[in-house]
Structure 1
C-alpha cells in the first residue's frame, strides 16, 4: 500500500498547459501535486519564500536558467533543478550521445520538453533524492540539538559528570573536577577512570562492569565503590553509566554521586543565596554573569537571539546629597521592583550599586528600543517615598544585541557602557534616554564589531565588487577580468576597507570560506550578464587558503561554470603562493579536482619563494601572477633579466604569466618585451564597478 505523498512542484515556463500536463502525469506517483507556476524573476523571488521540492525551468520572460541557478544558490536553498529545451537549443543542452549534458542529484540539464515521461521520471528521482537529503539533515540536526542541549545542561549541572572513551577521561564538568581535586579540565583529560577507584577488588569489578556496558548490557548501569581523590583521600560513591555523544562521536557518560546526606540540598541553597542581592531580592552580578553565560552560549549556537539592557540611575549624587544613603537605597529598591514588574519574560539583575542589567530573548532592534523607551518613561514617572519625603529619578539605558556571531560577554558589557557614555555626551550628562550600540559604526576600530559587519555584509550583500581588465597579448583583447572585494562601512567618513584590512579578522572568526563563496557567486552573476553580449568574457577570482582546503569547492565551481555557459576557462581561481606551500599535498589534490570540472587555476604573488618553479611544476597551474617585487625597478638591467628568466622557466612548465602593477608608460614599454602573456595595471585601465569589454 502506497503511503501518502505530496510533491511541491515549481515550474518556470510560458506554457501553463504544459505544466498542467506534467501535474496530470505525476498524479500517478503522488497523492497530491501542488503546482507553482511563473515566468518572471519578481514572482520567483516571492515564491522561493515557500518550500518547494523540484524546480522545472523551460523559459521565462526576464530570466535564463543560469540566473535561476544563481538566485537559488544565493539564497542557500536545497532545490533540485531540471532544465528543459526544445530542438533548436539541443546543441548546448546535450552531449554527443544525445543525453543531458549534466545529470546529478541536484540538477538535470537538459531534457527535451516533448519527452514528458523522461521529465516526469527525472522529477520523481530528484524529489526522492531531496527527501533523503532532508531526512539525513533532520536526523543530524536532531542529534546535534540533543547533544548541544545535553552539553549545556551538563556544563551547568551541579552533578559530577564526565565523558570517557575506552575508559579514558575526555571531558569533565566543574563539579566533577572539584569532587576529585583536579584544578583544570586539562588535568583530568587522559586520566583513566580506574585511577579514581580505590582498592584492587573495586578496580577489577569496575573493569568487568565497564566491559559489560560496552558490549551493550544495560541491565546494570550503576556501580557502588570507594572513590579516590587526587590528594589520596577517599569517599563512598555511586557511579552511573549512559551512552552519549560528544562532537558527534559516541562516548560513555559517567555520573558520580557522593554518598553524603543532604549535601546536594545544602549546596543548592548556598548557590541560590550566592546569586541573590540582599537589598532588592533580585539576582546580583554573580547571578547575571551565570545567566549571561547561558544566554550567550545558546546565542552562539544559533538557538536564540537576545538583548542586553544596561540601566544606570542618573541623579544618584543629587539623591544622596538631599536624602543620604537611605534615599539611595530606597530609590534602588523601588527601581528594582519596577523593573521586575515591567520585564515579564526576561532576567533582571542588580549589576552594581546603581546599575541594573536586563536580559531578554528573541527581540528585534526596534523591539529592544521600544522596551528601553517604556522603561525610561515608567521610571521617570515614579514617585519614591523616603521617610515622609518624595524623590524621583531617571535612567540611561545602553542596549546591545547578542547574536550568533556576537563578541565575548565582557566585550558586550563594554559596548553597553560605551552606549551609556554616548548618551552622556549627547545629553550633557543629563541622561534619561537610551542608545543602541551599532557594531557597524565602530567596525574601523573594533575587531569584534568588524567581524559582525562582515557577517552582515555576507548576509545582506553589503560587499562591493570591482573588476579590472587583463590584456591578453596572444589574443589581442581585454575580456579577461580580475575581481576585487571591498567592504563599505556605515560610519560618518564613508570608509571603504580592502581585504588586507579585514581578512585577518575574518580568519579569526572563521569567515574566510563564506566570504570566498559570496565573491564567487556574485562575480559569476556579473560575468554571466556580460557573456550574453560578449561570450568570450572570462573571470579571475582570488580565493583564500580556507577555500584551498574546502572539499566542496570543486562542486561549487562546477555548478557556477555550468551556470555561466560551461566553457573551459570561463572561470580561473587564483590562490596565494604561500597558502599553496602551506597546504601543498591538499593543493595538488584540489587543483586536480578543479581541473576536472573545467576550472582553470592560477598562483598569485608568484616568485615570492625560493621554490616557485618547483611549486608550479607540482600543482600545474594554467597561469601565474607575478609578485609586485618583480615589477618594481624593472627598468634596471638586473631586475629585467631576473623577470625574463623567471618567465622563461615558468613557460617551460606550461603556465602563462600575468604581469600586474603596470602603473606608468615606462613599465608598459618594458612589459611588452619580457614574454608575459597577460598585462594588467592602472596604466592600462583601473578597476571599475561594471565590467567593460573593450
Structure 2
C-alpha cells in the first residue's frame, strides 16, 4: 500500500493538451495532482504565490528559460525546474553525447518534449529530491537550534572551552583565551592546539591521542599534560575531547581543566594579565571595555562628558608584506608608546591587533578634533626602525562624544567604527585623517527614506549595473568582467549612489541579501546574452556578508550557472577579506559548497590585514583582488617590494592575484612585473553599462 502523495505541478507551455497528457501519465504515481498551466510572465508572477513542487518549462509568450529562472530566484523559492525543447532545438542544450547539459537535483536542461517517459521520470525524481531537501531543512533547523543553545552555554561557561578543526583552533570562549594569554578570538584562530602544549614528549603523545580520537576511538577522551601559555609560562592541566558541531560543521570540542595545585598561581597570573596587553604593556580590550562602562555611567549621571577615539593603523597589510610580523609588532609598539605619551591623562588601550582606543574626559568636540589632528600628524612623521630598515604609517581616527543622553557603550563603539568606515569612503580607502561622528547626519528619517528607495529599486529594477573588463595575462584575453552596482535617485541633481553610500542603511534594514540576489540574477541575465556569441565570457560579482552566511547561496549560484550554460568558471563570487575573517568557519564551509557547484571564489580588499595569506589558505579562493593601498605609490621601491612579496606568498598557495586600480601608464608598466595574473583599471578600460568583449579575445 503506497503512502498518500500529492504533486503540485506547474507547466509553462503553449499546449495545454500536452500538460494534461503529463498529468495522465503521472496519475499512476500520485494520489492527487494539482496542475497549474500558463504561458506568460504576468501569470507566472501570480502563480508563484502558491506552493509548487515541480516547474516544467516549454514555450512562453514573453520570456525565455533564463528569464524564468531569474523570476523564480527573485522570489527565493526552492522549485525544481525542467526545460523542454523540440526535436529540432534540443541539441543546442545537449552535450556532445546528446544528453542534457544540466542534470541535477534542482534542474534538468533540456529534455525533448516528445520523449514523455523521460519527462515523467524527471518530474518524479525532481519531486522526490525536493521532499528530501525539505526534510533535511527541517532537520537542519532542529540541529541549528540545539547547536545555538549549546554555544550560548559554552560562551557563558566558566570552563575553558574551544573548538578545533583538524587540530586548529577555530573558536574559544573567554576563559580559554584568558587561560592561555590571548586577548581576542582573532589571536587564537588558526593556532594549532599543539602550540599550547609544552615538551616534546607531551606533544608526541597528544598527536597520537588526537589521531585515535579522530579515527572514532572514544576509549580515551582525557589527556594530562603540561600546558604552555602565550608568554612562555606553563601549568599542569587536563583536557577532554568531544565530538561537536559549529555552524553545522563537524568539529572537535576541547575542555581544559587546570591542576588544582596550581590554581592560586594561575589566578594570580590571570589577574595581573587581565587588563594589560602583552606586546605593548598598555591596557588591553578587556580593560578598555570596563573603563568605557564606568565613563559611560558617569556621563549618564551628569558627572562628566567624555570622548572616545578609535585609532586604526592604515597600511598594516603593506608593512606585513614588506617587513613581516616583526615589522607589524614593532610598528604597533611604537604607535602604542606614542599614543601613551601624547595623551597622558587619557585611558589608552590596544583594542585589537592593529587598532587602539582612547578615552578622554571633559573635552569639547573641537578639542577632540584638535587632539586627533595632532595624533595623526605626529604618527605620520614617525620613522620606525625595523632590523636596519625604516618604515612609516598613518592612522585613521573615529571620534564619538559621550554625553548625558548618549547611546549604550556598545553603540558608542560601533559609531566610532562607523566613523572609520566614513573616512575610508571619503578617501577611497587611503585613510590618514579623522572624522567626528555626528548623530544628526544619521537621522532615522533620512535612513528610512533611503531604505524606501532601496526597497523600490529591488522591486522595480531601478538599480543599475556596469561592467569593467579584466585582462588575463596568462591567456591574453579580456572576457572576464567585474560587476558594479549603482543606485540612481529621482532627484533634481540626478544623484547616483555607490554601495559605500547605501550599504550601511541596507544592512540596518535587512536588505543586503535581497540586493545581492538582485545583482546576481540581473548580471547573469546580461552575461547569458553575451555568452551566446562569446561562450568564454564570465563575471566577477562582489557580495556582502549576508550572502557569505546564506546557506541558500550555493543552490542559487548553481541554478544561475546552469541557466547561463553550466560552464565551470562562468561565475566568480568575491567577498570582502574582513567579512571572511569575521566569519572564517562559515566562510570555509560556504566556499567549499560553492566550489562543488562549479562557482569560482574570490577575496576583495586582499592584503588589508596581517593574516591575509593565512585567511586565503583556509578558504582557498581562486582569485584575490588587491586592496587599493598596494597600488598607490607603487613606483616607490618599498611599496613595490611589499606588493611583490604579497603576490609571491599568495601564488605559493596556488591562488591567482588581480591587480586593480591601474589608472595611468606608469602604474601599467610596473603592473606587468609584479606577478599578478589579472590586471584591471581605467587605464585599460572604463566600466560600461554593456558587456563589451574586445575583438580577438
TM-score by length of 1: 0.50
Deviation at 1:463, TM superposition (A): 1.6
Within 5 A, what are the aligned runs for 1:403-422?
A: none
Summarize the Cα distance change of 1:125–1:651 in structure 2 as closer, same or farther, 3 Å threshold.
closer
Deviation at 1:79, TM superposition (A): 3.7
Tell me the distance in 1 between the aligned counterparts of 2:552 and 2:43: 31
Tell me the distance in 2 between the aligned counterparts of 1:21 and 1:629: 63
Tell me the distance in 2 between the aligned counterparts of 1:4 and 1:608: 57
Deviation at 1:110, TM superposition (A): 4.3
Tell me the distance in 2 between the aligned counterparts of 1:62 and 1:117: 28
Tell me the distance in 1 between the aligned counterparts of 2:42 and 2:544: 34
Tell me the residue number matched to 2:71.
71
Tell me the residue number matched to 2:104.
103
Tell me the distance in 2 between the aligned counterparts of 1:84 and 1:633: 56
CA deviation string 1:205-247 (max 9, x = no partner)? xxxxxxxxxxxxxxxxxxxxxxxxxxxxxxxxxxxxxxxxxxx
Tell me the residue number matched to 2:637.
637
Deviation at 1:510, TM superposition (A): 2.3
CA deviation string 1:331-388 (max 9, x = no partner)? xxxxxxxxxxxxxxxxxxxxxxxxxxxxxxxxxxxxxxxxxxxxxxxxxxxxxxxxxx
Deviation at 1:19, TM superposition (A): 3.7
Tell me the distance in 2 between the aligned counterparts of 1:136 and 1:626: 39
Tell me the distance in 1 between the aligned counterparts of 2:136 and 2:654: 45
Tell me the distance in 2 between the aligned counterparts of 1:37 and 1:629: 56
Tell me the distance in 2 between the aligned counterparts of 1:122 and 1:468: 40
Tell me the distance in 2 between the aligned counterparts of 1:482 and 1:467: 6
Tell me the distance in 2 between the aligned counterparts of 1:50 and 1:621: 39
Deviation at 1:538, TM superposition (A): 0.5
Tell me the distance in 1 between the aligned counterparts of 2:5 and 2:24: 15
Contact kept? 1:57, 1:65, Cα under 8 Å:
yes
Contact kept? 2:100, 2:109, Cα under 8 Å:
no
Is 1:662 matched with 2:662?
yes
RMSD: 3.8
Is 1:646 matched with 2:646?
yes
Deviation at 1:617, TM superposition (A): 2.0
Is 1:462 matched with 2:454?
no
Summarize the Cα distance change of 1:456–1:68 in structure 2 as closer, same or farther, 3 Å threshold.
same
Tell me the residue number matched to 2:348.
none
Deviation at 1:51, TM superposition (A): 6.8
Summarize the Cα distance change of 1:77–1:681 in structure 2 as closer, same or farther, 3 Å threshold.
same
Tell me the distance in 1 between the aligned counterparts of 2:641 and 2:133: 57
5-14 vs 638-647, greater mean Cα deviation = 5-14
Question: Secondary structure of 2:687's match?
Answer: coil
Deviation at 1:92, TM superposition (A): 5.2
Tell me the residue number matched to 1:532.
532
Deviation at 1:498, TM superposition (A): 0.8
Within 5 A, what are the aligned runs for 1:221-300?
A: none
Contact kept? 2:531, 2:537, Cα under 8 Å:
yes
Deviation at 1:560, TM superposition (A): 1.4
Summarize the Cα distance change of 1:632–1:74 in structure 2 as closer, same or farther, 3 Å threshold.
same
Tell me the residue number matched to 1:170.
none
Question: Secondary structure of 1:503's match?
Answer: helix
Tell me the residue number matched to 1:122.
122
Question: Secondary structure of 1:654's match?
Answer: coil
Deviation at 1:467, TM superposition (A): 1.1
Structure with higher RCO (Cα < 8 A, 6+ apart): 2
Tell me the residue number matched to 1:368.
none
Tell me the distance in 1 between the aligned counterparts of 2:46 and 2:546: 33
Tell me the distance in 2 between the aligned counterparts of 1:608 and 1:480: 24
Tell me the distance in 1 between the aligned counterparts of 2:604 and 2:6: 50
CA deviation string 1:570-620 (max 9, x = no partner)? 111111111111122222222112111111111111111122222222221
Summarize the Cα distance change of 1:683–1:443 in structure 2 as closer, same or farther, 3 Å threshold.
farther
Tell me the distance in 2 between the aligned counterparts of 1:504 and 1:572: 24
Between the two proteins, the alignment pairs up a number of residues equal to: 395
CA deviation string 1:541-573 (max 9, x = no partner)? 111122212222212211211111111111111
Within 5 A, what are the aligned runs for 1:258-657?
A: 446-657=446-657
Tell me the residue number matched to 2:407.
none
- In structure 2, the gaps of 5 or more residues are 139-441
CA deviation string 1:505-535 (max 9, x = no partner)? 2222222222212211221111112111111
Contact kept? 1:53, 1:80, Cα under 8 Å:
yes
Contact kept? 1:100, 1:111, Cα under 8 Å:
no
Deviation at 1:491, TM superposition (A): 2.5
CA deviation string 1:400-447 (max 9, x = no partner)? xxxxxxxxxxxxxxxxxxxxxxxxxxxxxxxxxxxxxxxxxx999712
Tell me the distance in 2 between the aligned counterparts of 1:499 and 1:122: 42
Tell me the distance in 1 between the aligned counterparts of 2:474 and 2:601: 19
Tell me the distance in 1 between the aligned counterparts of 2:443 and 2:525: 28
Contact kept? 2:487, 2:497, Cα under 8 Å:
yes
Contact kept? 1:95, 1:101, Cα under 8 Å:
no
Contact kept? 1:663, 1:682, Cα under 8 Å:
yes
Deviation at 1:654, TM superposition (A): 0.8
TM-score by length of 2: 0.50
Summarize the Cα distance change of 1:57–1:518 in structure 2 as closer, same or farther, 3 Å threshold.
same
